[in-house]
């Protein structure tokens, strides 16, 4: 498992915003992943999508990495932010955009 | 015992909630196909695979969103390990606005 942890660590550290999801940003294969994709796209956040369906090891590894049992999972500047419910709540409360700008992540959306 | 009853009992024991609603949303995911993790079948929507938990408890007072979710996930760790596939969580402390 050390290999998969290194892979995850590298993805999380080398991209400002990373979404571990089922499917891809262009073709989400789960409604929960799709909701987060829509929110990030709406805000105009540049993010890197990692499709956990490409490997069982990755799908299990990401759950252990963050001690979080479900997917999607959003990371910003190396920190775990939340899953679908949390991202949606933050978005609806107007907190997500503030959070991104506080973290130094640019948004270019209409929100 | 059904998974629904187990979830209700564990959340009641852990959080002494003021309000609790455990909703089986598995039917909404009928036809939802999973090939990962050995699931070769398509969910037919009749099972207990997708749940939504709405819970108001003083235990959540002062906890962050992530901490609240982690607390619920920890209470339901056995169910999540045993095949509960999706868990939507709407936690609130008393006095906070809820949408239900």
Q: Domain containing B9 — which CATH number?
A: 3.30.300.90
Please name the residues in contact with A98: beta carbons below 8 A apart, sequence gap of 6 or more: none
Q: What is the nearest CA distance from B95 to chain A, expressed in angstroms? A: 17
Average pLDDT of the residues in A39-60: 97
Average pLDDT of the residues in B7-29: 94
Q: Are A33 and A70 in contact (CB under 8 A)?
A: no
Identify the residue with better confidence: A19 or B81: A19
B48 in a domain, yes or no?
A: yes
Domain count, chain B: 1
pTM: 0.90
Can you give the residue ranges of every domain in chain A? Answer: 2-102
Q: Which domain holds residue B76?
A: 3-33+44-92
- Output the CA torsion sign for B83, B54, B56, A68: positive
Complex ipTM value: 0.89
Tell me if the domain spanning A2-102 has CATH number 3.40.30.10.
Answer: yes
What would the pLDDT profile of A72-108 be if each residue is shown by its tens digit? Answer: 999 999 999 999 999 999 999 999 999 999 999 999 8
Q: What is the mean pLDDT of chain B?
A: 89
Average pLDDT of the residues in B24-48: 67
Angle between helix A84-92 and A95-102 (nearest 10): 100
B38 in a domain, yes or no?
A: no
Residues belonging to chain A with any Cβ–Cβ distance to chain B shorter than 8 Å: 22, 30-32, 52-53, 56, 59, 67-70, 80-86, 89-90
């Amino acid at each position: 498992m050390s290999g998969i942890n290194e892979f995850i660590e590298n993805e999380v550290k080398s991209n400002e915003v990373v979404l571990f999801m089922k499917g891809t940003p262009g073709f989400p294969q789960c409604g929960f992943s799709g909701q987060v994709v829509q929110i990030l796209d709406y805000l105009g956040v540049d993010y890197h999508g990692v499709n956990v369906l490409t490997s069982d090891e990755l799908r299990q590894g990401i759950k252990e990495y963050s001690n979080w049992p479900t997917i999607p999972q959003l990371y910003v500047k190396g920190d775990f932010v939340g899953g679908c419910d949390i991202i949606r709540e933050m978005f609806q409360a107007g907190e997500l955009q503030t959070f991104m700008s506080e973290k130094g992540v640019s948004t270019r959306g209409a929100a | 015992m059904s998974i629904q009853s187990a979830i209700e009992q564990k959340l009641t024991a852990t959080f002494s909630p003021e309000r609790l609603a455990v909703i089986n949303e598995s039917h909404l995911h009928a036809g939802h196909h999973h090939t990962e993790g050995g699931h070769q079948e398509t969910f037919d929507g009749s099972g207990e695979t997708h749940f939504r938990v709405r819970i108001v408890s003083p235990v959540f007072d002062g906890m962050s969103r992530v901490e609240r979710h982690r607390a619920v996930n920890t209470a339901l760790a056995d169910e999540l390990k045993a095949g509960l596939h999706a868990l939507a969580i709407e936690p609130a402390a008393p006095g906070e606005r809820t949408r239900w």
